[in-house]
Amino acid sequence: MNCETCQLKELELDPTEIRDVLRCVVHTIFFHRALGLVRPKDVDCELFEITYVQCGDAELEKKIDEKLEHFVAWSEKHPNRKSQVCLSFYEVKSKQSSWFGSKVERHYWEQWIVNVNVHPINPPRSSFLNSREKVSEETSTRRSALETSVREILFQIIKFANEKQEHIPPITNTEVVSFPYEISTPSSSESQFGWNKDAIKRILQSDHPYSLS
Amino acid sequence: MASSSETPATEQVITAIFAKSLLVILQSRSPFVSSRNYSHDQIPLSPSSSSGSPSTRSSGPRDNWFNLALHDYPAALENSDFWRQSNLEPLVIDILLVNRVSGTEKLLERWVVQYETRKQPSTGRKSKRTYYMGATLLFRSLYMLVRLLPAYNLFREINSSGRIRPLGLLHRIQPFVNPLSRLEEAEMRHLSLAPIETPSGRLSHWVSYLPVLDDFSIGSEPSTPLSTEFIPDYVGSPTTDPLKRFQALPLGSSTPICVQPGRRHSWSAARLGAPNLSPLPEAQKSNKGPEGCYPFLTSSPQKASLLRGDSELVRFGELITGTSLPKEISIGGDNTRYLVGVKFSLSLDLNEDTDANYPFAPDATNRCSAGLWYFGGKKSCLLWTHNYEGERSQGAIVGALMRMLTTAPKLQIGFEKSNSLDQNPNPAPSGPRTAADALQELRNYMHMRDSILSQSGPHPSESCPDKEAKHKEETNPEKDMEEIKMP
């Protein structure tokens, strides 16, 4: 089984935009991979005119919010850095060990990497007379560009989820989120480049060759 | 009914795919099918219904098809697919923007769901689970996609207003694909979802959509919407300063009045009734024109369009309240009437050649009436006239009046009573006067006197020697003139 990886387009975010944008992206990914019985819930973004869909599972929402808060806290301590939020789906396989019984292993079959560049957007220095209008105009322009980027990412998710299906394992339960998952955010063990060591380690330790797409 | 070579179970799934596609699309495009109009409590969700068996044709199980629980839809939607005789016919859903006023329509989206049989069935056995999984994944993408396209926000806006708008969304379901026009092909973008492979065929979903919805402009309406510009200070606005300079008008020109195409402004009698009217100031003589350009005056020989006649003048007089009303005076024996109550401030240099400077030529035969136009709160006014005959411009008439006033001969005692003045063959010369002229005038005077005296008869005082001496003196003016004759 291949581990399909989807590298999403990088997002340049202001710290105040992290929650709204990442919540939209992460929930959209889960909606495509939560193949249990789902009662979709339409949610409007706070900052953009974008409506995304949640699975309607309270536990999933809570877990996502916790991870995003952790990421926000990390980004506040490490400003102006590129980082990633990694969403991984795996299946648990037990491997019979010769001596110590079965060993549970995770086989990651899909990874979604959300590339984020968080840096405070400082208003440019403008003349005193036009400062407020100019700041508002530039903020509006930047926000519009960010909305376009978010839309592109959502289309990217739809395209990837639609095209890559062969690697998806069979559904073995009736839970809303059919497959076990893992949300990884930068931690103290992060390299200086913000790469997720655990994700890379997972890929390298995978028994099967991985593919990057 | 034409049928494919699919098994009944597969046919059932294919039929459900068509139905679910229709539901997903219309719930986010048609206000009548919108799930937002229903509460979430209507759907009974239970794990036992996860199979999505269509055999139990109740709202719950049908809505759970492909693990996507959707709200029930009304009977109208259920009957919308009655025309479909088989799964071999495509499902074409056009989403149109309709202008209820003009009746025009514009195609926003075209969704197509089409099943095509494969000429040769696939060699590998495609289990029901496989294409069901494929359909499940497809509907996740479809559900998200209908919310990402531009028409969704339009649908939300129309659906949420709750009032009848001139523009609305309409859907049209057809069992065939009408070819798009060349313009539509050029304007629209195309997206297709991964097809669902069935044992004997393939189900495809694609959409053609307009990427940009520009302000609801459709059909015969202009493609570039007219920009709306609000002119806050239009002429005639009650908030506009009547003395405001308008850039289009010549300023500071030698002519004291501005060129303006003849049009009726709302600077009418009502404007004059403003409570802030004040008495007119003293005349201000300067080489400049009056303050500002006043659009109601024209230097072109046009009919004064603002006045209609004497009645208009009377109205103006009535409306000027709170000020010293001008009193009517008459000058001369003609029908000229002037309403002059205060000094006016025409800035005309009377010492210069009037014909050269004034754009208006005086006309002695001009019969006109004049009035004063007051400006609320401002210190200047202008004199305007109305020509009954409609031949002279207001400025020309002003000039005529000025000429009349400045060149009017001075009143002389006894001079008016005599008719001989009218018969004077020698009118007073306009050039410099010489002694000979004065002598001639004296002779005329004496002749006049003699004639008057002869008419009145001999006077008792005539025998008086003093009088004779006096008479002698008086009858010998030439001697006197000689004495005083200039060398």
Partners of A51 on chain B (C-beta within 8 Å) are 147, 152, 156
Q: What is the pLDDT of residues B433-482, one digit of tens each?
A: 788 989 999 999 999 999 988 887 655 444 444 444 444 455 555 555 55
Q: What is the pLDDT of residues B176-208, one digit of tens each?
A: 888 888 888 888 999 999 999 988 899 999 999
pLDDT of B216 above 70:
no
Nearest CA in chain B to A37: B67
**Helix locations, B166-298, DSSP H:** 182-187, 269-272
Nearest CA in chain B to A151: B148
Distance of alpha carbon B376 from alpha carbon B353, whole angstroms? 33
Lowest mean pLDDT among A165-174, B30-39, B174-183, B225-234: B225-234
Q: What is the pLDDT of residues B109-165, one digit of tens each?
A: 999 999 998 876 665 555 666 888 899 999 999 999 999 999 999 999 888 776 667
Q: How many CB atoms lie within 10 A of CB B99?
A: 19
Distance of alpha carbon B385 from alpha carbon B307, whole angstroms? 9
Distances (CA, A) of B388 to B165, B221, B257, B306, B335: 55, 49, 21, 13, 11
Nearest CA in chain A to B142: A158
Distance of alpha carbon A110 from alpha carbon A169, whole angstroms? 10
Angle at which helices A131-163 and B128-148 pack, to 10 degrees?
A: 170
Mean pLDDT over B413-433 rounds to: 51
Eight-class DSSP state of B215: T
pLDDT of B317 above 50:
no
Residues in chain B: 487
Asked whether the beta carbons of residue A51 and residue B69 sit closer than 8 angstroms, the reply is: no
Q: Are B259 and B301 in contact (CB under 8 A)?
A: no
Burial B88-97, CB ≥16 within 10 A → b, else e? bbbbbbbbbb
pLDDT of B349 above 80:
no
Q: How many CB atoms lie within 10 A of CB B233?
A: 10
How high is the pLDDT of residue B137?
A: 93
Q: Please write down the HEC assignment for all residues of A132-158.
A: HHHHHHHHHHHHHHHHHHHHHHHHHHH
Q: What is the pLDDT of residues A9-60, one digit of tens each?
A: 999 999 999 999 999 999 999 999 999 999 999 999 999 999 999 998 999 9
Asked whether the beta carbons of residue B45 and residue A39 sit closer than 8 angstroms, the reply is: yes
**Helix locations, B273-393, DSSP H:** 310-319, 354-357
Partners of A173 on chain B (C-beta within 8 Å) are none
Q: What is the pLDDT of residues A116-162, one digit of tens each?
A: 999 876 655 555 555 777 778 888 888 999 999 999 999 999 999 98
Q: What is the pLDDT of residues A164-191, one digit of tens each?
A: 888 888 888 788 888 999 999 987 545 4
CA dihedral sign, ordered B9, B11, B12, B16? positive
pLDDT band at B265 (very low <50, low <70, confident <90, very high): very low
Partners of A43 on chain B (C-beta within 8 Å) are none
Mean pLDDT over B222-236 rounds to: 53
Distance of alpha carbon A52 from alpha carbon A50, whole angstroms? 6
From chain A residues 188-207, the ones with a CB under 8 A of any chain B CB are none
Distance of alpha carbon B447 from alpha carbon B449, whole angstroms? 5
**Helix locations, B149-268, DSSP H:** 150-161, 182-187
How high is the pLDDT of residue A173?
A: 79
Rounded percentage of chain A residues whose pLDDT exceeds 70: 79
From chain B residues 185-224, the ones with a CB under 8 A of any chain A CB are 193-194
How high is the pLDDT of residue A106?
A: 87
Q: How many CB atoms lie within 10 A of CB A126?
A: 14
Considering only residues A64 and B38, tell me which one the structure prediction assigns the higher pLDDT. Answer: A64
Give me the long-range contacts of B444-448 (CB less than 8 A, separation at least 24).
Answer: B446/B474, B446/B477, B448/B418, B448/B420
pLDDT band at B270 (very low <50, low <70, confident <90, very high): very low
How high is the pLDDT of residue B184?
A: 84
**B153 → closest Cβ in A37, A49, A171:** A49
Distance of alpha carbon A48 from alpha carbon A143, whole angstroms? 8
Partners of B138 on chain A (C-beta within 8 Å) are 162
Asked whether the beta carbons of residue B144 and residue A53 sit closer than 8 angstroms, the reply is: yes
pLDDT band at A81 (very low <50, low <70, confident <90, very high): confident
pLDDT of B375 above 70:
no
* Type of residue found at B195: P
Model confidence, pTM: 0.56
Distances (CA, A) of A118 to A18, A83, A121, A144, B416: 8, 8, 9, 17, 103
* Type of residue found at A104: V
Nearest CA in chain A to B135: A162
pLDDT of B398 above 60:
yes
Considering only residues B9 and A147, tell me which one the structure prediction assigns the higher pLDDT. Answer: A147
How high is the pLDDT of residue B400?
A: 80
Lowest mean pLDDT among B5-9, B208-212, B238-242, B405-409: B238-242
- Helices first, then strands: H and E counts in chain B: 14, 9
Considering only residues A108 and B224, tell me which one the structure prediction assigns the higher pLDDT. Answer: A108
Considering only residues A96 and B397, tell me which one the structure prediction assigns the higher pLDDT. Answer: B397
Mean pLDDT over B41-67 rounds to: 49
- For chains A and B, CB pairs below 8 A equal 71
Lowest mean pLDDT among B363-367, B445-449, B482-486: B363-367
**A37 → closest Cβ in B64, B144, B152:** B64
* Alpha-carbon dihedral A120, A124, A125, A129, rounded to 10 degrees: -120
Distance of alpha carbon B194 from alpha carbon B134, whole angstroms? 9
Considering only residues A120 and B217, tell me which one the structure prediction assigns the higher pLDDT. Answer: A120
How high is the pLDDT of residue A153?
A: 96
Angle at which helices A18-33 and A131-163 pack, to 10 degrees?
A: 10
Angle at which helices A18-33 and B128-148 pack, to 10 degrees?
A: 150
CA dihedral sign, ordered B294, B300, B306, B307? positive
Rounded percentage of chain A residues whose pLDDT exceeds 90: 51
Distance of alpha carbon A74 from alpha carbon A184, whole angstroms? 12
* Strands A181-184, B91-99: pairing kind: unpaired
Distance of alpha carbon B283 from alpha carbon B407, whole angstroms? 19
Q: Given its phi and psi angles, is residue B299 left (phi above 0), alpha (psi -120 to 50 degrees) or beta?
A: alpha
Angle B359-B360-B362 from CA coordinates, rounded to 5°? 145
Asked whether the beta carbons of residue B140 and residue A32 sit closer than 8 angstroms, the reply is: yes
Question: What residues does A108 pair with on adjacent strands?
Answer: A90
Distances (CA, A) of A87 to A108, B17, B29: 10, 30, 32
pLDDT of B423 above 80:
no
Inform me whether the C-beta atom of residue A174 falls under 8 Å from chain B C-beta atoms.
Answer: yes
From chain A residues 134-163, the ones with a CB under 8 A of any chain B CB are 151, 154-155, 158, 161-163
How high is the pLDDT of residue B215?
A: 57
Partners of A162 on chain B (C-beta within 8 Å) are 137-138, 141, 193-194
Eight-class DSSP state of B68: B
Mean pLDDT of chain B: 63
Considering only residues B301 and A205, tell me which one the structure prediction assigns the higher pLDDT. Answer: A205
**Quick one: which of B50, B75, B48 has its CA closest to B63?**
B50
pLDDT of B414 above 80:
no
